[in-house]
Structure 1
């Protein structure tokens, strides 16, 4: 039995037992290196049927913590948690620095093609960065893709001539240029003896 004097929960919470037919849902463990707000939202939505049972919400939440997060929980002062709101507050305060920062479309202007990078690799890297943006603005993304090229790149010059290019059109043009670049490199490669 847990020593109630050392528990972070008040005695009232500590003494509550789960309902008879309660079956603990599966939760992805939170280890302290993820988005605390996302974890909390998932927990609340999964435990929606038990929201009125504050003590159960507290006790089950602690079972979703592992590793550093579990260690952190055991450093809380005895009897300092009186409700699930208290627990949520200290949890999000502790782990708020790990929260995912929502990126906007203009973040893509930071993605530049490296001089030694192939056009195909630049496209792949750009697409990976774009995938992290929820609801990106197509015209901003297309402009950012173009701006990531050097001004003397043939694709950059071709994109300037075209008006209102969508990102899909920009990638299609880039694909043509990538094929041409690869063919040029193949022609310049020394022949094998």
Structure 2
């Protein structure tokens, strides 16, 4: 039987493992905490199941009695059972998939790129610089990189920080226009203007006119056979209000010539 854990021993405070992530991360975290606590092998065997839950706890409960000889054996069985959840090993070529999107700011791209670098082991400096430059979109920073290629990661970070500050200061100076609302035409613009309104809006050639001493009908009869008077425009048919009044200009009954001309 395994020895009981010391009375002053505290169960490690860590996230419970449910069998859905890489078991190596959980086991490494557990070992480091046990090392700090200076726990014995038997204590580790007793404490380890307290960090399991769901599928992982079910696996531990189904272990055959006396099938574990020590913590190293328990750790080996644990890794074998959940090895399918191991994270895929990433290489430097995976950095080529990290791109600076058109609508994203430079700070967002640098943060995503740094995070991707942390997931790759033994990453060469040249690969980091090449991947970062490859993912940049066209702009002031990429132009600066192409003109003077950086020689170290520290130089890349310093130059990126400079252009991040420039970009953010420029965004702060932009006026806030508020939310963009769809254009809504005014009520007057929705409906076509009446013919009378259009005529009123036309600029007048003269402001003062000499008053006529004769009627418009007489003027019309004098010039109707000349080229000075343009032909009448076709008008929509209107109900005849009078068969007595007749417009000589439009050749229609219903209004007098004076009314139509004016």
TM-score normalized by the length of structure 2: 0.51
Distance in 1 separating the partners of 2:94 and 2:115: 13
Greater helix proportion: 1
Unaligned runs of 5+ in 1: 1-12
Q: Which residue of 2 aligns with 1:40?
A: 27
* Range moving further from structure 2, 169-178 or 129-138: 129-138
The aligned length equals 172
C-alpha root-mean-square deviation of aligned residues, in Å? 3.5
Matches within 5 A, 1:4-83: 13=1, 16-18=2-4, 21=6, 23-27=8-12, 28=14, 30-32=16-18, 33-44=20-31, 46=34, 50-51=40-41, 53=42, 57-76=44-63, 78-79=64-65, 81-83=67-69
* Displacement of 1:146: 0.7
The unaligned stretches of length 5 or more in structure 2 are: 179-262
- 1:130-174 Cα offsets, whole Å, 9 max, x none, are 344455433321221111013x43322321221343233223333
CA contact (8 A) 2:17 2:26 kept: no
C-alpha deviations, 1:108-133, integer Å up to 9, x for none? 33211111111222122223333444
With normalisation by structure 1, the TM-score equals 0.65
C-alpha contact 1:106 1:141 (8 A) present in aligned 2: no
Q: String of CA shifts for 1:76-131, please: whole Å, max 9, x gaps.
A: 3x437242354333211122233345545544332111111112221222233334
Distance 1:18 1:50 in 2: 10
CA contact (8 A) 1:111 1:126 kept: yes
